[in-house]
Structure 1
Amino acid sequence: MNRAAVIVYWLVCLYTLGKLVLSAHWAMFIDFPSMLGVIAPALACWFTPLAATRRAKLRGAIKVCWLAAGLMFIYGLLRVLMQSLGGAETIMAGLGVALLPLFYSLIINLFAAPYLFFGAARQVGSNQALSTKRHIGEASQAE
């Protein structure tokens, strides 16, 4: 992605989230336990010293973010279905709350995507010569 595409991407994301926040019903998208259940594992994965590069840390944090969101959704779905005596309106409201972790994970991934894609293009260009030199060096050592 070139810089213009990244800027347009950010502007579209900020515009969409701005429209959501400025609407009259933005408070229905706030659920702190779901937010904490998605963001905390992703941040914990980001701060682990296991990954060597920032891009690897970000990719791991995104995977953990989706995993945590999926598990939180399944947990919320099970809670809704166990207490399904309230009728259709109660079940639908519970399903809406159960979907919030997936929504939070999507928002996090929308903001992290330019770093992955823009960094990937830059990294491929810089590492290509290095991997070719390594391959040539291994071939000359084998002879």
Structure 2
Amino acid sequence: MNKVGYAVYWLGCGYVLSHLFLMHDWVQFFDGFSLLCTLVPAVAALAIAGEGITQRFKLSAKIMWVSATLTFVYGAVLTLSHHPFDADGFVMGLSVAMLPLFYALILTLLVAPLVFRTEGNNQ
């Protein structure tokens, strides 16, 4: 049953991500700066020596969420700093500012089963 659950999980994630990226304009979900600010600290955290792979994945996920939150705050401050206030510009700027949180959510959804599978094998 455990393998069936993993298969259903991966199929569900694959369906949702393919629906988001392939059935709609996938370019609207890409921002290079946000992607770099979210991924680079998370990948660097995986290179920490002396920890088990499960601990490194957990630390990487925590660092990824912190960096995504800080990048979101940075984008929100930039969006709110524009004069004069424009409602359309505010909504577009806020949607781009939320992309790092979206990236962190996707990566957490994809890495979570690997972390829990590794934990289950270690016990």
Q: TM-score, normalised by structure 2?
A: 0.94
Aligned match of 2:68: 69
Q: Deviations over 1:48-89 (max 9, x none)?
A: 21x420000000000000000000000001000111524100
Aligned match of 1:22: 22
Aligned match of 1:90: 89
Q: Distance in 1 between matches of 2:83 and 2:60?
A: 34
Q: Deviations over 1:18-63 (max 9, x none)?
A: 11121232110000110010000000001121x4200000000000
Aligned match of 1:59: 58
Q: Distance in 1 between matches of 2:98 and 2:26?
A: 15
Aligned match of 1:33: 33
Q: Distance in 2 between matches of 1:117 and 1:45?
A: 18
Aligned match of 2:6: 6
Structure number with higher helix proportion: 1
SS at match of 2:51: coil
Q: Distance in 2 between matches of 1:112 and 1:72?
A: 21
Distance 1:25 1:86, change over 3 A: farther
Contact 1:42 1:64 in 2 (8 A): yes
Distance 1:31 1:99, change over 3 A: same
1:121 CA drift (Å): 2.3
Distance 1:8 1:44, change over 3 A: same
Greater shift in the superposed pair: 92-101 or 110-119: 110-119
Q: How many residues get paired?
A: 123
**Unaligned stretches of 5+ residues in structure 1:** 125-143
**Unaligned stretches of 5+ residues in structure 2:** none
Distance 1:123 1:95, change over 3 A: same
Q: What is the CA RMSD across the aligned residues, in angstroms?
A: 1.4
SS at match of 1:85: coil
Q: Distance in 1 between matches of 2:115 and 2:28?
A: 30
Q: Percent of pairs identical after alignment? A: 35
